[in-house]
Amino acid sequence: MARLVMKFGGTSVADIERIRNVARHVKREAEAGHEVAVVVSAMAGKTDELVGWTREASPLHDAREYDTVVAAGEQITAGLLSIVLQNMGVDARSWQGWQIPIRTNNAHGAARIEDIDGTLLRERLAMEQVAVIAGFQGIGPDNRIATLGRGGSDTSAVAIAAALEADRCDIYTDVDGVYTTDPRMEPRARRLDKISFEEMLEMASLGAKILQVRSVELAMVHGVRTFVRSSFEDPDNVQAGHGNQPAGTLICDEEEIVEKPVVTGIAYSKDEAQISLRRVPDKPGISAAIFGPLADNHINVDMIVQSVSEDGSKTDMTFTVAEPDAAKAIKILENNQDAISYQLIQTDSGLTKVSVIGIGMRSHAGVASTAFAALSEKGINIRAITTSEIKFSLLIDADYTELAVRTLHSVYNLNRE
């Protein structure tokens, strides 16, 4: 007997028919004798609709009331799934964040979970009752509903798995696992049996949209074995995957991964913009003068390249931001022209960051140079490069995204046979 957390996303609970399908998955695990806590998202499109209504009510609105509105989507699904389960003869009860309670900080709209009291849930699980929990929400120190930021029910699920010391957190979604790259970009992408927490964190932060980044961080910190699998499978006829696991991808500690490939996956994120400040004085304090004001305005700066100045007096500083932030970033830099004293500011948009990820890189040399050679052969220009222990990222023109992803996928032998 195991203790499982099962999480179902918006497309998996999009209508009553699909909720019935979800209920059959839950019933299967409960009947196998497992203790089951389920975390649900709002039905597909619901949260967007609720967010839209708050904006329509008033473009500027109180974040606590925003949370009151948008948390409602998950409450509905939790109730509906409980009704369907009860109707199938499975003892089930819905739970909202405040009832557990899931305590968060006060950052309404983007709250972080601070503590989950698992006592009540454990009692119910021990009574063989399925707990159906509304994801995405908790209760703040002000005693009001707080939501965790878009995509937050992944984080709810992992946090509950950690609090309950569950054996596994199953994330049921509309894909059947984590792939070596986006299969829409490269049909020869392969599903991974296992991926380490660290690699998954890079994949998620660098553009793979399977899990909320924060949920992966949390899984890593608490060592929650997280299994990504499809909710659209026939619940009574689950496909066999690797070893004795069903089809899907296990995100786990790297100790559990016997064969560590040098490269595990290729991620990409489009809509990057590059900003260059030409001829800034090359002296202490210049980076702080540029990036301080951007950080103060919550603009996330990514790849930073500073060229060596010829005579030690002037340098060029180039960096990337998400394209929607570019105009704001430029305005801020212009307002700080006195402190930075650049001579020219230039921007390029329509760029893509392609990243190559693998824990095996730690112990192998020359991994990145293979990519440089392969891209140059295809005539793809690299505008900026950043590296870390287990990944490197290349900035290219967005027009070449597909070609670059496919070239790298093939050069690192990731194609399916």
Binding site residues, ligand ASP, CB under 6 A? 9-10, 41-42, 47, 73, 135-136, 150-154
Say if CB 23 and CB 188 are below 8 A apart.
no
Could you write out the DSSP letters of every residue in 315-372?
Answer: EEEEEEEEGGGHHHHHHHHHHTHHHH--SEEEEEEEEEEEEEE-GGGGG-SSHHHHHH
C-beta of 21 vs 320, nearer to ligand ASP: 21
Q: Structure tokens of 201? A: 């964190």
Nearest of 1, 3, 31, 18 to residue 170 by alpha carbon: 3
Q: Which does 47 bind (CB under 5 to 8 A by kind): ligand ASP, Mg ion, none?
A: ligand ASP
Q: How far is the CB of 251 from Mg ion (least distance, A)?
A: 15
Interaction site with Mg ion (CB under 5 A): 9, 151
C-beta of 173 vs 269, nearer to ligand ASP: 173
Q: How far is the CB of 350 from Mg ion (least distance, A)?
A: 27
Residue 109's SS3 state is coil
Distances 228 to 13, 177, 197 between C-alpha atoms, Å: 16, 5, 13
Q: Structure tokens of 218? A: 């949390």
329: number of Cβ within 10 Å: 22
C-beta of 116 vs 289, nearer to ligand ASP: 116
Integer Cα distance of 74 and 150 in angstroms:
12
Q: Which does 150 bind (CB under 5 to 8 A by kind): Mg ion, ligand ASP, none?
A: ligand ASP
Q: How far is the CB of 252 from ligand ASP (least distance, A)?
A: 22
C-beta of 41 vs 129, nearer to Mg ion: 41
Q: How far is the CB of 149 from ligand ASP (least distance, A)?
A: 7
C-beta of 10 vs 140, nearer to ligand ASP: 10
Q: How far is the CB of 52 from Mg ion (least distance, A)?
A: 18
The number of residues making up the chain comes to 417
Q: How far is the CB of 170 from ligand ASP (least distance, A)?
A: 15
C-beta of 140 vs 151, nearer to ligand ASP: 151
Integer Cα distance of 19 and 4 in angstroms:
19
Nearest of 168, 172, 275 to residue 226 by alpha carbon: 168
